[in-house]
Amino acid sequence: MMQILGISDARFLEMRTTVRLDPDVAAAAEQLRRERRIGLGEAVNELARAGLERGPLAAKPFRQRTASVGLKVDVTNVAEALELLDHYDDEHAR
């Protein structure tokens, strides 16, 4: 259920909290604060809004990299498959 807030409810929308900023975010907020002569909270809000306007980042599709090791491995028995691969690694590490 969506509640529509009136002007009298606006005081509840302002929130004071403590956050940890990564160094790059803190530097960007500090730079914006100095450039615009605004408070740190306002600078963080502007950066957050800019990120929200940009929208979600497009995720790069996952692609599993594979390499041929010259073995045919039956993976129905996981323990046996791992033992075979460990043996292969031991032989080729020399």
CB 81 within 8 A of CB 75: yes
> What local confidence, expressed as pLDDT, does residue 2 receive?
47
Tokens of 75: 């993976």
> What local confidence, expressed as pLDDT, does residue 94 receive?
61
Per-residue pLDDT tens digits of the chain, which is 94 residues long:
445 555 555 555 677 888 899 999 999 999 999 999 999 999 999 999 998 888 777 788 888 888 887 767 677 888 888 888 888 887 776 6
Tokens of 81: 């498959």
CB 20 within 8 A of CB 5: no
Cα–Cα distance between 82 and 78 in angstroms, integer?
A: 6
Rounded to the nearest 5 degrees, what angle is found at the Cα of 14, between the Cα atoms of 10 and 19? 165
Cα–Cα distance between 16 and 44 in angstroms, integer?
A: 13
Position 32, amino acid? L
> What local confidence, expressed as pLDDT, does residue 54 receive?
84
Q: Taking the CB of residue 29, how many other CB atoms lie within 10 A of it?
A: 21
Domain residue spans of the chain: 19-54
